[in-house]
């Protein structure tokens, strides 16, 4: 994980946006350093607020645990109560 964030920092400047901080927390980091992101923002107070919400959301996502990664789609909707495909539209309108 550390190598990922090093590469991110070299390419883009680490934690420039709220989504960067959320991703770090979602991946399991204990915290993030935000000084430059806040001091260089056009609206530092608004950036601080967005960072706070992103960090909270990322940490909650990490603690909740993500669904397993699959190489295929799997329906999560129940199958009972669905309209029968063999019923014609005319029958349904009556």
Domain ranges of the chain: 2-64
Upper half-sphere CA count for residue 26 (Cβ side, 13 Å) = 12
Q: What is the pTM of this model?
A: 0.64
pLDDT bucket at 56, cuts 50 / 70 / 90: very high
Question: Given this model, what pLDDT does residue 8 score?
Answer: 64
H/E stretch holding 64 reads helix 44-64
Question: Given this model, what pLDDT does residue 89 score?
Answer: 54
């Amino acid at each position: 994980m550390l190598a990922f964030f090093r590469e991110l920092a070299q390419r883009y400047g680490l934690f420039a946006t709220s989504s960067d901080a959320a991703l770090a927390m979602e991946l399991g980091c204990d915290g993030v350093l935000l000084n430059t992101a806040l001091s260089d923002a056009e609206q530092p107070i608004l950036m601080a607020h967005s960072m706070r919400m992103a960090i909270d959301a990322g940490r909650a996502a990490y603690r909740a645990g993500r669904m397993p990664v699959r190489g295929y789609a799997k329906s999560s909707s129940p199958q009972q109560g669905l309209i029968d495909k063999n019923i014609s539209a005319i029958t349904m309108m009556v």
